[in-house]
Chains A and B, each alone.
Chain A
């Protein structure tokens, strides 16, 4: 059974880099496609990016300049880096598997706060 678990700091200082990792169990991280989605407190979902098993990455145009995704097959995880963090980046960050043009398995989410 596929399980995803986000990890990383719960508090990031303004202008610093928000860095999260998603550990994958029950599947090969190099054999699937993976995404990040975020949800500000009390608000809706926002797609951040998807990294395909080919290594190609699609990004939200509004975040493209600040986002990097990577996969570490040896450690069984994939990662998100979001540079120049601001209070607007405060959200619950979810990692998910992208399969058949849908996000079919999700992590529990991790709240990351960036103070004003």
Chain B
């Protein structure tokens, strides 16, 4: 199965909003509303920030939001903070009863 497509990098200034896209196919993102997003700081463990396209786990800031249109999902981070600088990975359930990750996006806070 092919990885979902994410931009290699995005950047933004503190206080701004940024969006990270995640493009899949009719066999994964387009098939289910089962998209999740993970934040990973360098050398650290991934952290779930969004599940089921737009739901936030308890304790995750409401500055993180998710959406989906067709075969593309997006993660939006508003009010950008220095600690948001990290790698972000999307993931989707597929029709093959499997999960697939995106290649990851490096977020730089300028």
Q: Footprint of B on A, CB under 8 Å?
A: 37, 44-47, 50, 58-62, 94, 100-104, 106-109
| Chain B positions 1-37 with a Cβ under 8 Å from a chain A Cβ | 1, 3, 34, 36
Other than the known A102-B48, A106-B46, what 15 A-B pairs have Cβ atoms closer than 8 Å?
Answer: A37-B46, A44-B3, A44-B104, A45-B101, A46-B101, A47-B100, A50-B99, A60-B98, A62-B1, A100-B52, A102-B36, A102-B51, A102-B57, A104-B48, A106-B45
Q: Footprint of A on B, CB under 8 Å?
A: 1, 3, 34, 36, 38, 40, 45-48, 51-52, 55, 57, 89, 91, 93, 96-104
Q: What's the Cα separation between A106 and B57 when bound, in Å?
A: 14
Is A44 a contact partner of B89 (Cβ separation < 8 A)?
Answer: yes
Instruction: Please give, as numbers and ranges, the residues of chain A lying within 8 Å of B47 by CB-CB distance.
Output: 106
Q: What's the Cα separation between A2 and B16 when bound, in Å?
A: 35
Q: Which of A47, A59, A108 contacts B101 (CB 8 A)?
A: A47
Q: Which of B1, B38, B52, B101 contacts A101 (CB 8 A)?
A: B52
17 A–B contacts from the bound complex (CB under 8 Å):
A44-B101, A44-B103, A45-B38, A45-B46, A45-B101, A45-B104, A50-B99, A59-B98, A60-B1, A60-B98, A61-B96, A61-B98, A101-B36, A103-B46, A104-B48, A104-B57, A106-B45
Q: Which of B3, B45, B51 contacts A109 (CB 8 A)?
A: B45
Residue of B nearest to A45 (CB): B101
Q: What's the Cα separation between A104 and B38 when bound, in Å?
A: 10
Instruction: Please give, as numbers and ranges, the residues of chain A lying within 8 Å of B45 by CB-CB distance.
Output: 94, 106-109
Q: What's the Cα separation between A58 and B46 when bound, in Å?
A: 21
Is A61 a contact partner of B1 (Cβ separation < 8 A)?
Answer: yes
Instruction: Please give, as numbers and ranges, the residues of chain A lying within 8 Å of B98 by CB-CB distance.
Output: 47, 58-61
Residue of A nearest to B104 (CB): A44
Instruction: Please give, as numbers and ranges, the residues of chain A lying within 8 Å of B97 by CB-CB distance.
Output: 58
- Min Cβ gap B27→A in Å is 11
